[in-house]
């Protein structure tokens, strides 16, 4: 005769609730940083399946919520309902749902470039003002955020950072102040001049360190050369 | 230090131009450093006579320099002296560039000079008589007419510093004693000077070189000029008996007036590399600034070129605004430029700082221009090989000059934090970045951080080696494409020839463009 599993009685019910309370306390103590299940396990010595049950229950009671964390790298992250996730786990203005908001960043970068192009020489304040006035972003950007975008344009080699000489095109800018200019004669998104090595197959080849004059990988047998010379 | 593939390129060049035997001797010297004749025979396993002939060919073509190394007397030992041979790597690689040198001469001088330079490139070294004999064999003129024409061309080439007297055949170098070396180091340390150690090659070349007074001087066996005075246009010619720097000439016993007939002349590679360096600077500025700024830069280069003591000069000699303006209006493109435009162009050239202004005079910052060009070349490779995100990361690290942590790099370049280490790792694996691990003991656990950096000196050597590798590949592929066996394939002959022509054009022009980049990293 198979024994039927007993339904959990009143004694086991209060044990689950007790655990729920403990789990909720741990999550709440992390405030706007929240915690993952792994972190909870380390703090309270309770079996994994019980923690999972507690989380499920707390979620259904809307006492906690699930948030995306850029630090957790795949693990789910939970926060007490009354807190908003800090920028340390959301990633700040540039992240949405735990991923970089690439589209938003690219739009801002282009707009920023156009403002600098229009002004010929621009300070950070000038760029921030211009962006604000044109309502490019629905969210008000801080000076630091504008600086991050401008510095990214410098890294893209679209814009260069210079110091004002106080004369000529810098006449309206105090001497020594950092400002920005568009580079060269290409438009936004234009690629920099192709270098000599980069314009031949060897320059792009992932196998160059294994290529030898008489080896299996050699200029005579190279598939990239074959394609390049296929007129 | 010569990159590994640089040596392979040099050996390939010598093999193509002079054959396997000469290449074997050359390779031995390139890999092992300076050697005596006996040591070269031992390493190459050739006969003494074979090695001697190969060395003669290499010396004739300025690829090897002989010298006598005298060991200083120490503790009563007898002084030791033996003749050694050192390969001149740079001169070997210049053999690729002969067409570039000829182009420079054809842009500045007449056809006679171009022909003469071509002869010197072909034969390595020639006396005046050999040059005349060669001209006689191709021209149908009287002997005197030919000699005058050749002499005139030689003087023009000397005035432009395109050719020079050949160096001494076996200069003597002394190795300093241990005491002398430590005394020199102590003196440098106390004076807080960074003394860049001269390589043996540099010392040999310097010791062999004729004095500056003689280097571009032709002592002619002619009557003094009728006007009795110095002819400004013939500054390279001095007749015996004229008042001149006697000390310089008399001390050069090898170069007394009586020996002028046997004086050997050769191409002065240094001047051509200097001109190519200037050309590269102009090209780089052209991509960033307008024609006015480029014209002003060209004028400054023209005005200061003759004052440069060495090719790799950091800055040009300072010029006043007036001097620059006077030089600008001499040129065709600068004829209509106003004084104010020149001043405005100089301000343009200060951002980025291609030209430095100090005390109302201006000098070109070659080091800065070359450095920017080198950065662009490397960044172009990174962009094409590893993509835009890697390009941004590389530029961040290259500009900052110090170690940066992975997450900081991710934030600054707007790349996902989990993708960033993968990209950085790829760059590190291919030697474009250096990496260090940092372990920090936190409250409860050990955290490991990865820090990344661009080491520009190491990277420059690595990229230069890749460039030589790519150059060798291009040369090898040309040879492969032109192999006679290709004709055996079932392709119509005219189609085959047409393809070979196109392929050769593409490969050779790519090689010459790549050579410009090699000069940027090695010679400029």
- Its ipTM equals 0.84
Same structural domain, A83 and A119: no
SS3 content of chain B, % helix, strand, coil (to 5): 60, 10, 25
Residue A223 lies in a domain: no
- CATH number of the CATH domain containing A147: 1.10.10
Same structural domain, A127 and A142: yes
Question: Hey, is B14 helix, strand or coil?
Answer: helix
Q: Is the dihedral of CA A194, A196, A201, A202 positive or negative?
A: negative
Cβ–Cβ below 8 Å for A213 and B344: no
At B79 the pLDDT is 57
The residue among A2 and B445 whose pLDDT is bigger is B445
**For residues B487 and B79, what is the distance between their CA atoms, to the nearest angstrom?**
62
A100 shares contact with chain B (CB less than 8 Å): yes
A residues 31-70 closer than 8 Å to B (CB): 70
Q: Pick the residue of B425, B432, B510 with the most A CBs within 10 A to test the interface with A by mutation.
A: B510
Domain interval for residue A184:
94-197
- Model confidence pLDDT, tens digit, residues A103-154: 889 999 999 999 999 998 999 999 998 888 887 666 778 888 999 999 999 9
Last residue in a domain, options A52, A68, A90:
A90
Same structural domain, A125 and A180: yes
Measured between CB atoms, which of B380, B411, B463 is closest to A194? Answer: B380
Same structural domain, A60 and A134: no
Q: Using CA atoms in the order B344, B346, B349, B353, what is the torsion angle rounded to 10 degrees? A: -130
Measured between CB atoms, which of A152, A198, A219 is closest to B473? Answer: A219
Same structural domain, A139 and A110: yes
- Model confidence pLDDT, tens digit, residues A153-208: 999 999 999 888 888 788 888 988 999 999 866 678 778 889 999 999 999 898 88
A225 shares contact with chain B (CB less than 8 Å): yes
Mean pLDDT value across residues A84-111? 83
At B177 the pLDDT is 62
Same structural domain, A160 and A183: yes
Report residue B310 CA to chain centroid gap: 11
Same structural domain, A50 and A105: no
Residue A3 lies in a domain: no
The alpha-carbon radius of gyration of chain B (Å, integer) is: 27
Residue A209 lies in a domain: no
First to last CA, chain B: 15
Cβ–Cβ below 8 Å for B380 and A152: no
Cβ–Cβ below 8 Å for A198 and B352: no
Q: Using CA atoms in the order B317, B321, B325, B328, what is the torsion angle rounded to 10 degrees? A: 40
Last residue in a domain, options A90, A121, A149:
A90
Residue A144 lies in a domain: yes
B residues 330-389 closer than 8 Å to A (CB): 344, 347, 350-352, 376-381, 383-385, 388
- CATH number of the CATH domain containing A51: 1.10.10.10
Q: In the β-sheet with B361-364, what is the strand arrangement from edge to edge?
A: B319-320, B361-364, B355-358
Residue B467 phi/psi, 5-degree rounding, is -65, -45
- Which DSSP helix (H) or strand (E) runs through A191? none
What is the pTM assigned to this prediction? Answer: 0.83
Cβ–Cβ below 8 Å for A229 and B503: yes
Same structural domain, A116 and A128: yes
Same structural domain, A117 and A43: no
Same structural domain, A98 and A193: yes
Cβ–Cβ below 8 Å for B414 and A183: no
Cβ–Cβ below 8 Å for B414 and A105: yes
Residue A30 lies in a domain: yes
Residue A73 phi/psi, 5-degree rounding, is 50, 60
At B250 the pLDDT is 45
B478 shares contact with chain A (CB less than 8 Å): no
A205 neighbourhood in chain B, CB within 8 Å: 385
Residue of B nearest to A185 (CA): B288
A71 neighbourhood in chain B, CB within 8 Å: 417
Tokens representing A92 are 């700040």
CA distances from A204 to A198, A201, B384, B469, B473 (A): 6, 6, 6, 13, 14
Q: Give every CB contact of residue B101 below 8 A, 6+ residues apart in sequence.
A: B94, B117, B121, B162, B267, B269, B272
Our count of domains for chain A comes to 2
Same structural domain, A84 and A21: yes
Residue A212 lies in a domain: no
Describe the crossing of helices A143-155 and B406-413 by its angle, rounded to 10 degrees.
90
Band of residue A89 on the pLDDT scale cut at 50, 70, 90 = confident
Q: How far is A1 from chain B (nearest CA, A)?
A: 52
Last residue in a domain, options A33, A60, A90:
A90
Tokens representing B312 are 């790799």
A181 neighbourhood in chain B, CB within 8 Å: 351
Pick from B356, B352, B374, B270: nearest CA to B314: B356
Exposed/middle/buried for residue B143 (C-beta within 10 Å: 0-12, 13-18, 19+)? exposed
Tell me how crowded residue A93 is: count the other CB atoms within 10 A of its CB: 18
A167 neighbourhood in chain B, CB within 8 Å: 347
pLDDT in tens, chain B (524 residues): 789 999 999 999 999 999 999 999 999 999 999 999 999 999 999 999 999 999 999 999 999 999 998 876 555 555 567 899 999 999 999 999 999 999 999 999 999 999 999 999 999 999 998 998 888 887 777 778 888 889 999 999 999 999 999 999 999 888 766 666 666 666 656 554 444 556 888 889 989 999 888 899 888 644 444 444 444 444 555 554 444 444 444 444 444 444 566 899 999 999 999 999 999 999 999 988 889 999 999 999 999 998 998 889 999 999 999 999 999 999 888 888 999 999 989 988 988 889 999 888 999 999 999 999 999 999 999 999 999 999 999 999 999 989 999 999 999 999 998 899 999 999 999 999 999 999 888 766 778 899 999 999 999 999 999 999 999 999 999 999 888 766 556 778 888 888 889 999 999 999 999 999 999 999 99
A191 neighbourhood in chain B, CB within 8 Å: 383
**How many Cα atoms within 13 Å fall on the side-chain side of residue B374?**
23
At B197 the pLDDT is 56
Measured at the CA of B257, the angle between CA B256 and CA B259, to 5 degrees, comes to: 70
Residue A215 lies in a domain: no
B470 shares contact with chain A (CB less than 8 Å): yes
Same structural domain, A80 and A32: yes
The secondary structure of residue B175, as a DSSP letter, is E
Residue A213 lies in a domain: no
């Amino acid at each position: 005769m198979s024994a039927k599993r007993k339904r959990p009685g009143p004694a086991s019910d209060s044990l689950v609730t007790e655990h729920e309370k403990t789990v909720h306390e741990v999550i709440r103590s992390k405030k706007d940083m929240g915690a993952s299940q792994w972190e909870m396990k380390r703090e309270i010595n309770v079996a994994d399946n019980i923690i999972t049950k507690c989380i499920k229950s707390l979620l259904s009671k809307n006492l906690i919520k699930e948030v995306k964390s850029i630090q957790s790298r795949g693990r789910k992250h939970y926060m007490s309902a009354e807190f908003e996730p800090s920028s340390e786990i959301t990633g700040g203005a540039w992240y949405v749902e735990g991923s970089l908001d690439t589209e938003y960043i690219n739009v801002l970068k282009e707009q920023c470039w156009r403002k600098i192009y229009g002004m010929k020489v621009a300070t950070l304040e000038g760029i921030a003002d211009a962006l604000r006035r044109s309502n490019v972003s629905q969210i008000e950007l801080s000076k630091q955020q504008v600086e991050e975008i401008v510095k990214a344009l410098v890294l893209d080699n679209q814009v260069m950072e210079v110091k004002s000489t106080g004369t000529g095109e810098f006449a309206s800018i105090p001497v020594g102040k950092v400002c920005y200019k568009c580079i060269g004669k290409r438009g936004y998104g234009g690629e920099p001049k192709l270098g000599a090595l980069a314009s031949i197959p060897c320059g792009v080849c992932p196998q160059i360190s294994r290529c030898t004059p008489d080896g299996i990988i050699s200029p005579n047998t190279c598939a990239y050369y074959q394609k390049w010379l296929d007129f | 230090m010569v990159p590994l593939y640089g040596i392979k390129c040099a050996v390939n060049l010598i093999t193509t131009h002079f054959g396997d035997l000469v290449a074997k001797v050359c390779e031995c010297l390139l890999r092992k450093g300076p050697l005596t004749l006996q040591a070269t025979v031992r390493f190459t396993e050739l006969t003494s006579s074979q090695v001697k002939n190969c060395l003669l060919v290499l010396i004739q073509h300025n690829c090897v320099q002989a010298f006598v190394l005298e060991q200083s007397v120490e503790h009563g030992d007898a002084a030791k002296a033996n003749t050694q041979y050192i390969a001149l790597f740079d001169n070997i690689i210049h053999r690729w560039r002969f067409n570039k040198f000829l182009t420079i001469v054809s842009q500045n001088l007449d056809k006679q000079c171009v022909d003469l330079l071509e002869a010197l490139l072909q034969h390595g070294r020639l006396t005046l008589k050999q040059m005349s004999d060669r001209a006689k064999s191709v021209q149908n003129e009287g002997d005197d007419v030919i000699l005058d024409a050749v002499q005139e061309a030689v003087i023009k080439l000397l005035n432009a510093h395109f050719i020079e007297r050949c160096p001494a055949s076996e200069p003597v170098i002394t190795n300093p004693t241990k005491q002398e070396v430590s005394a020199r180091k102590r003196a440098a340390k106390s004076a807080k000077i960074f003394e860049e150690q001269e390589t043996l090659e540099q010392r040999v070349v310097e010791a062999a070189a004729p004095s500056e007074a003689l280097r571009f001087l032709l002592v002619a066996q002619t009557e003094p000029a009728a006007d009795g005075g110095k002819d400004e246009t013939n500054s390279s010619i001095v007749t015996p008996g004229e008042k001149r720097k006697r000390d310089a000439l008399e001390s050069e016993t090898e170069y007394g007036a009586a020996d002028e007939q046997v004086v050997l002349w050769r191409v002065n590679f240094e001047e051509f590399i200097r001109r190519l360096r200037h050309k590269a600077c102009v090209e780089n500025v052209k991509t960033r600034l307008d024609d006015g700024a480029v014209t002003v830069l060209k004028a400054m280069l023209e005005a200061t070129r003759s004052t440069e003591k060495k090719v790799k000069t950091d800055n040009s000699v300072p010029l006043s605004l007036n001097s620059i303006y006077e030089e600008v209006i001499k040129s065709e493109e600068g004829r209509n430029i106003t004084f104010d435009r020149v001043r405005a162009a100089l301000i343009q050239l200060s951002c980025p700082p291609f030209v430095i202004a100090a005390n109302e005079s201006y000098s070109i910052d070659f080091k800065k221009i070359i450095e920017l060009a080198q950065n662009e070349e490397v960044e172009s490779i990174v962009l094409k090989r590893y993509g835009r995100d890697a390009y941004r990361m590389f530029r961040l690290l290259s500009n900052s000059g110090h170690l940066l942590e992975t997450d900081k790099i991710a934030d600054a370049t707007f790349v996902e934090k989990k993708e960033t280490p993968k990209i950085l790792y790829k760059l590190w694996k291919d030697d474009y970045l250096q990496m260090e691990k940092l372990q920090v003991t936190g409250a409860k656990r050990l955290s490991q951080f990865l820090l990344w950096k661009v080491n520009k000196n190491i990277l420059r050597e690595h990229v230069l080696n890749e460039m030589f590798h790519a150059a060798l590949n291009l040369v090898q592929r040309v040879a492969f494409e032109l192999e006679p066996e290709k004709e055996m394939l079932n392709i119509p002959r005219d189609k085959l020839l047409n393809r070979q022509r196109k392929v050769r054009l593409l490969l050779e022009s790519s090689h010459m463009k790549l050579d410009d980049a090699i000069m940027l990293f090695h010679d400029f």
